[in-house]
Amino acid sequence: MFARDVMTAPVFFVSPDATVAHARNLMVRHKISRILVMEDQKLTGILTKKDIAYRLKQGEPAWRRRPLDRIPVGALATENPATVDPGTGIQKIAKLFAEKNISSVPVVEAGSVVGIITKTDLMKSVFVRGLSLPVRDVMEDVVTVNRYHSLDHVINVMRERNDKVLVTDDDGLPAGIITETNLAFYEDEPKISGVVGKDVAIMRREKADGERGTSSLMVAPVTAEDVMTSPVITVPAATLLPEAIALMDRHHVNSLVVMENSTISGIIKRDDIIKEVAK
């Protein structure tokens, strides 16, 4: 199979001067996770949901955390993205994804963009459908945060591991999962743009020497619980990859939490499956 066999076309694009809010609206409307940046019919960059999501980290410059309607696409987009031609083989593309840690490549022919290939497109290939390993042979360790952790802490962890995070309950069981999609497409985006990384004080009454008084409790304004997706889809470690892939398709997710003896054992992601194809 080749790029031309699995690519998606036509592609959606914006100019570098368009606002990130406009680009994000296009992503939501067309149910896509990235959009090409073109100027004078020339490919100049690509904007992904990860680019939008990670701008919220407290350590980023203040302008990057402004509301999306005040940031131009060119400021967040990745310039000069890797591209492939229509005749590039699927395994070569899977290897490119794994080596460069990217999730898509535009398909270019004679200088013109004719399509785009994402990890979702690769999952449709016969190479993926032919895998028969058990999940335990492919899964990774899972990164966890508590449901009460601040959004800034969550973003720090996600950027450090370049990965999604599992949100756990007080008893250590899965409560939800947070991906770049949750951060980039959060419904109350203006709220997290304005307060991410800050603490707010709330007042509470408490007894001291028999008398009621007032004290301050510092809490995060937006927590992991506010942005996570729930419930979490789980599978036993012995599940074979075709069954796991079918489960991902059925629930429209790209990862499954692996459980063994009622304990979190790991996570199987679309990325792990694509790496198997790249071998």
Segment 10-44, tens digit of pLDDT: 899 999 999 999 999 999 999 899 999 999 889 99
Rounded to the nearest 10°, the torsion over CA 98, 49, 194, 199 is -40
Same CATH topology for 3-129 and 135-184+224-278: the answer is yes
Segment 121-163, tens digit of pLDDT: 888 777 777 788 999 999 999 999 999 998 888 888 988 888 8
Share of the chain above pLDDT 70, in %: 84
Can you spell out the DSSP letters for the chain?
-BHHHH-B-S--EE-TTSBHHHHHHHHHHHT-SEEEEEETTEEEEEEEHHHHHHTT-TTS-GGGGS-GGGSBHHHHSEES---B-TT-BHHHHHHHHHHHT-SEEEEEETTEEEEEEEHHHHTTSHHHHT---BGGGT-B---EEETTSBHHHHHHHHHHHTS-EEEE-TTSSEEEEE-HHHHHT-TTHHHHHHHTT--EEEEEEEEETTEEEEEEEEE-SSBHHHH-B-SPPEEETT-BHHHHHHHHHHHT-SEEEEEETTEEEEEEEHHHHHHHHH-
Which pLDDT belongs to residue 64? 60
**In the structure, what pLDDT confidence band is assigned to residue 46 with cuts at 50, 70 and 90?**
very high
Which pLDDT belongs to residue 60? 60
**In the structure, what pLDDT confidence band is assigned to residue 192 with cuts at 50, 70 and 90?**
low
Which pLDDT belongs to residue 215? 47
pTM confidence score: 0.72
Which of the residue ranges 49-53, 175-179, 263-267 would you say has the lowest mean pLDDT?
A: 49-53
Query: Is 219's pLDDT higher than 80?
Result: no
Query: Is 201's pLDDT higher than 90?
Result: no
Tokens at residue 129, please?
Answer: 């459908």
Domain limits, the chain: 3-129, 135-184+224-278, 189-219
- What are 36's strand-pairing partners? 13, 46
Question: What's the fold here for domain 3-129?
Answer: CBS-domain (3.10.580)
Amino acid at 255: S
**CATH number assigned to the domain with residue range 135-184+224-278, chosen from the 4 options 3.40.140.10, 3.30.565.10, 3.30.390.10, 3.10.580.10:** 3.10.580.10
Which pLDDT belongs to residue 12? 94
Share of the chain above pLDDT 90, in %: 50
Which pLDDT belongs to residue 244? 94
Contact 219, 150 (CB under 8 A): no
Which of the residue ranges 50-64, 80-94, 171-185, 205-219 would you say has the lowest mean pLDDT?
A: 205-219
CA distances from 203 to 212, 215, 218 (A): 12, 6, 9
